A = this chain, B = another copy of it.
Amino acid sequence: MRPTAHTTDVDLGLVDAFVQLSMVVGEIFSAATGSHGVPALQARLLGVLRDREPTMADLGRLLGLDKSSTTGLIDRAQRRGLVRRVRVPEDRRSYRVALTDEGWRLAAVVGEDVTRQLHQLADHLSGTDQRRLSLLMSSVVHHHAAEHGIDLSAGVVANRRPDDKGPTEKTLQ
């Protein structure tokens, strides 16, 4: 049960390891989505929309954005043809945001790319250490979410099963 040989690297210390890992992951994420022409936040949006068709206000809560920031995000994503605004009949002030066909396509390919590249980040670790790292990071994330009343289900680009097309599969093809 001792760590694999690689974990004998110099310890950065908890705080620097947090910060530097976070920068590495952020750079990989941005580079992967950018290589498909999708800015990082819009890629995150695609991931969130694979699971739901939120209103603008819902989306602001899920992504932690001000309502005006949400408007701007959806404007830009709509200009790229990734999402559309769908009127809500019950409340004519409100929209639901949904993926377009192009949005579904990009969500899939970008999600696969991000998943593959982030897996490579840990492929030098033993299976045991990979599971250990995953559990410890998950524990930190859950602990933080619980302390701040955050809904973890918002998800990211990478967290969908490949057969899960989401609530609007009728709009596909």
Binding site for B on A (CB under 8 A): 1, 3, 6-7, 9-27, 29, 64, 114-115, 118-119, 121-122, 124-125, 129-144, 152, 155-159
Contacts and interface: CB of A to CB of B under 8 A. Distances in A.
A-B interface, 5 closest residue pairs, ranked by CB to CB distance from nearest: A17-B137, A22-B25, A22-B22, A133-B136, A12-B138
B21 A140 contact: yes
Given A16-B159, A20-B152, A134-B14, A143 B124 contact: yes
A63 to B, nearest CB: 10
Contact of A14 (B7, B21, B122): B122
A contact patch SS: helix
B138 A17 contact: yes
B121 A10 contact: no
Given A18-B118, A141-B17, A134 B24 contact: no
Nearest to A16: B159
Contact of A26 (B10, B20, B26, B134): B26
Contacts of A3: 132, 135-136
A26 to B, nearest CB: 6
B11 A22 contact: no
A46 B24 CA distance: 19
Contacts of A16: 155-156, 158-159
Contact of A129 (B136, B144, B158): B136
A25 to B, nearest CB: 4
Q: Which of A6, A121, A130, A138 has the most CB of B within 10 A?
A: A138
A115 B17 contact: no
